[in-house]
Structure 1
Amino acid sequence: MTGRHPGPHRPDSRPHTERRVIRMSATTGRSFSSVPRDRYVAHPDAETDRHYAAAWRVPEPPPSSSSSESSDEPAEADAGWLLGDDEAHPGGDSVTEALPQGRRPRRRRWLWPGVAAVLVLALVGGVFFARDLWPILFPPDYDGPGDGRVVVEVSDGSSTRAIGEELVAADVVASARAFGDAAEENPNGRGIQPGFYELQHRMSASGAVTALLDPASRVGRLDIRSGVQLDDTAGVGTAIVPGVLSLISRATCTVDESGAERCASVDELRTAMATTDPAELGVPTWAQAGVRRAEPNRRLEGLLAPGTYDIAPGTGAREALEAVVRASAPRLEAGGLVSEAEAAGMQPYDALILASLAEREGVPADFGKVTRVILNRLAVPMRLQFDSTVNYPLDRQTLLTNPYDRARPGPYNTYLNLGLTPTPIGAVSPDALRAALDPDPGPWVYFVKCQTDGISCFAVTPAEHDANRRLAQERGVY
């Protein structure tokens, strides 16, 4: 109460009203009254019957339970609001009719964000294409033959992609993909062999493939043939046969920045062989005792197996020698040298010496018989009397000897000494090693080359041997 007495009750001439229903426009988000026209009555204060405040709602009975339940259900969604396409309702509940004159409704409010999203996606796609797809479709490549000098290694079993990646790391080619494509286009592209190659910086991919297929590009390659000894030897006439030490020296050669060639010299290799402990050089255990007994300059004879080796250009003398010795050991042992020699009651190192003698005295077809002659003479015992052992310390590979040389004392002169030589006398082939471990059976104690192709005639008695010698002379063998 306010303290005032209420006045007399006056009947209200205006009709009783209910609360207006307030709706929100889906377009503007503003509230407005919206009631169908036929549910409203005129109000004396209204300006027009179109005004949203121009009518009062006629009372209506309370809704039934069924209608209240249905009113809780959401109205069906109008998809038009998503793009801002709200249209005016004929019933007069459009907010646009109530907006001030000159103000236009906002439409298509999502148009520009959509365009921006498309542009962003296009930009991202373009960046992805430029970064990832372009190098695949158009791999970078250098032009021309390149410049400078660089040595790269192709490892055994390397794939074309792995080779390309090595070349990229050395700045030989611009991309592994370009190199792979060039290798595929070259009919011999898959024939690249392992080893070291001298190439140039910034070569075209096709030029790099061609260079890797050219034997002239190979560097650091060492080829040891059977029968070759450590030192250079005199061949037929004035020919000089390079020894293993000379071959290793050549394989280590490289060219420095000034253009000068640097190699591990033969003298440096010989010093490393004479002064380094055999175990540190990689000499296998079964050969170390024999190596230590030998002359320092010949102690590794026969332990460098025939075959191909790859030595990195610029490698020092000791490192190069060790690399070849360690790589040779499994090659020598591959045929069962250790186990079969011990099973036959022979030291593996002696079997290696025996095989080297057969290598120098006969041809492969006679290896088995020559080793049998050696074993038969050792069993008597008889001196071997091999010209090859006399010529070995003289660095000669000629067939015959003279009386003076045969009478010269020395540990390798089998005309004067009983037994085997102190060391092998050359590189031993797998065939000769197999013959030493499994010689042909027979009673022979003599042999002589009796055919121009190197085949020998074998004999048991001195008389048979003399007849074979006369036959050889008649055939012009010697």
Structure 2
Amino acid sequence: MSDDDLDLAFAGAEDPGRWRHRKKEGRRGRTFLALTLVLLLFGALGGVGYIGYGKVKGFFSVEDYAGPGAGEAVIEVKSGNTATDIANTLYKAGVVKSAAAFVDAAKDNPKSKDIQVGSYLLKKEMKAADALTMLLDLKNKNVNKITIPEGLISLQIFDKLSKATGIPVADFKTAAKSPQKLGVPALWFKRKDGKKVVASDIEGFLYPATYEFPKDAKAEDVLKIIIKNFNAEMEQLDFVNQAAKLNISPYEALVAGSIAQVEALLPEDMGPVARVLYNRAYTGKFPCGCLQLDSTVNYWLRISGKDAKASEHLLASELHDPKNPYNYDVKGMAVGPISNPGEVALKGAIEAPKSDYYFFVTVDKKGTMAYGKTNDDHEKNKLIACKNGIPIC
């Protein structure tokens, strides 16, 4: 209701003057109350405005530091960040004097769109253009970079990780005892052949690739990053479903891939070698139903703290050691992976071409592999290898 409406409402009263007088007093009181509230409100808003201005003034004033900066500031560039987002991060961290200065620098430099996601080590109180230059230089990433090649065992990988990050090997060994906590799905710890999977064995899951780890990462954080990549690669390969088509578990296919990675020197032999393993372990047509591989025996020696040996130097007692779960005489697929295989070996394990081969041997120094259906075929191939200087005879 407006003041005019109130005036009309009071027009028929016996003493209009008296009502009008009261109306003026009420209006004066209400006006004073309203003025007080407005002043209080503006006072509150003024406080908010002052605080807000303090927070955003870096966006409205194009102020810039003149010097190269000093000290350290860790800056995180996240996926989807715009130049303004990065400017905000830099301003809050004390790297640039104003966010606007960095935005202007980004507009002036067409390479600014090439800033990569990640953590960077910059300086405080930098000239905005210099801060941009540092973000474009990958040398300033606040990470430890390491490449894990195909075929290494976990102990070798822990050693490389330790040298790159400064984290003790013992920390990696401890963190690795719980692969599922690191992100390995439970489905990987089951087999179709009746053998049990050692749930504390991380072998095979440390996917070979080039990684960047934050410098403040702990052993568990590092391994989680590697496992996350492993899971992504397995999904990309559709590894679980492809293994099912072979009527084996993903873990058994992983074991086969880890052996093929070690045994085959050439990419084209990864699949055929994996097929030989399947033929020996699952068809029931190979006399012992075992793998009889020097590589599995050597794996046991290495994880037991001993040195691996060339095939011609392995002793019969080592090949048939009953304490070695990877020995010549163990039936079926090996109890676990013997290396950490890469993409080619893993694809070979799930795309192994069908064959009647039960034997393979490297026959020249180029890594060429020869296959045989019978032991006689194998002996002939071994003679070829000997003639080519391969120490197998």
Does 2:64 match 1:141?
yes
CA distance in 2, matches of 1:187, 1:465: 62
**Cα shift at 1:353:** 0.9
Secondary structure of the 1:197 match is: strand
Does 2:203 match 1:301?
yes
Residue 199 of structure 1 corresponds to: 122
Does 2:177 match 1:269?
no
Which residue of the other structure, out of 425, 446, 454, is the alignment partner of 2:367? Answer: 454
Alignment map for 1:407-418 (pairs within 5 Å): 407-418=320-331
CA distance in 1, matches of 2:383, 2:128: 65
Preserved CA contact (<8 Å) 1:304 1:325? yes
Count the aligned residue pairs: 321
CA distance in 1, matches of 2:103, 2:369: 54
Closer, same or farther in 2 for the Cα pair 1:159/1:369, shift >3 Å?
A: farther
**More off after superposition, 411-420 vs 442-451:** 411-420
Closer, same or farther in 2 for the Cα pair 1:165/1:344, shift >3 Å?
A: same
Larger radius of gyration: 1
Does 2:313 match 1:402?
yes
**Cα shift at 1:183:** 4.8
Secondary structure of the 2:120 match is: strand
Q: For residues 370-394 of structure 1, what are the alpha-carbon distances to aligned partners after superposition, in whole Å with 9 as ceiling and x for unaligned? A: 1111111112244322232222233
Identity, in percent, stands at: 31
Residue 387 of structure 1 corresponds to: 294
**Cα shift at 1:399:** 6.0
The residue type paired with residue 333 of structure 2 is L
Preserved CA contact (<8 Å) 2:326 2:335? no
Does 2:244 match 1:333?
no
Residue 51 of structure 2 corresponds to: none
Specify which structure has the bigger relative contact order, considering alpha-carbon pairs within 8 angstroms and separated by 6 or more residues: 2
CA distance in 2, matches of 1:331, 1:418: 30
Residue 361 of structure 1 corresponds to: 263
Preserved CA contact (<8 Å) 2:300 2:324? no
Secondary structure of the 2:64 match is: coil
**Cα shift at 1:397:** 7.1
Does 2:292 match 1:373?
no
Closer, same or farther in 2 for the Cα pair 1:295/1:391, shift >3 Å?
A: farther
Residue 256 of structure 1 corresponds to: none
Give the TM-score, by structure 1 length: 0.59
Which residue of the other structure, out of 229, 237, 242, is the alignment partner of 2:153? Answer: 229
**Cα shift at 1:476:** 3.4
RMSD across aligned C-alpha pairs, in angstroms? 3.3
CA distance in 1, matches of 2:120, 2:348: 37
CA distance in 2, matches of 1:358, 1:433: 9
Secondary structure of the 2:173 match is: helix
Residue 116 of structure 1 corresponds to: none
CA distance in 2, matches of 1:284, 1:399: 36
CA distance in 2, matches of 1:442, 1:366: 13
Residue 189 of structure 2 corresponds to: 288
Secondary structure of the 1:372 match is: helix
Closer, same or farther in 2 for the Cα pair 1:230/1:156, shift >3 Å?
A: farther
CA distance in 2, matches of 1:417, 1:326: 32
Residue 10 of structure 1 corresponds to: none
Secondary structure of the 1:374 match is: helix
Secondary structure of the 2:365 match is: coil
Q: For residues 310-342 of structure 1, what are the alpha-carbon distances to aligned partners after superposition, in whole Å with 9 as ceiling and x for unaligned? A: 433223333443343344323223211222222
CA distance in 2, matches of 1:209, 1:164: 10
Secondary structure of the 1:394 match is: helix
Residue 30 of structure 2 corresponds to: none
CA distance in 1, matches of 2:310, 2:81: 45
Closer, same or farther in 2 for the Cα pair 1:193/1:388, shift >3 Å?
A: farther
Alignment map for 1:44-59 (pairs within 5 Å): none
**Cα shift at 1:401:** 5.6
**Cα shift at 1:135:** 8.0
Secondary structure of the 2:155 match is: coil
Q: For residues 74-129 of structure 1, what are the alpha-carbon distances to aligned partners after superposition, in whole Å with 9 as ceiling and x for unaligned? A: xxxxxxxxxxxxxxxxxxxxxxxxxxxxxxxxxxxxxxxxxxxxxxxxxxxxxxxx
Preserved CA contact (<8 Å) 1:282 1:325? yes
**More off after superposition, 377-386 vs 322-331:** 322-331
Alignment map for 1:181-220 (pairs within 5 Å): 181-183=104-106, 188-218=111-141, 219-220=143-144
Q: Which runs of 5+ in 2 are unaligned?
A: 1-53
**Cα shift at 1:157:** 4.5
Give the TM-score, by structure 2 length: 0.70
Closer, same or farther in 2 for the Cα pair 1:289/1:437, shift >3 Å?
A: closer
Secondary structure of the 1:314 match is: coil
Secondary structure of the 1:467 match is: helix
The residue type paired with residue 403 of structure 1 is L
The residue type paired with residue 287 of structure 1 is W
Closer, same or farther in 2 for the Cα pair 1:425/1:143, shift >3 Å?
A: farther
Preserved CA contact (<8 Å) 1:389 1:412? no
**Cα shift at 1:359:** 1.3
The residue type paired with residue 384 of structure 2 is L
Closer, same or farther in 2 for the Cα pair 1:441/1:402, shift >3 Å?
A: same
Q: For residues 405-461 of structure 1, what are the alpha-carbon distances to aligned partners after superposition, in whole Å with 9 as ceiling and x for unaligned? A: 434444453423222222212222222222211211221111112233323122222
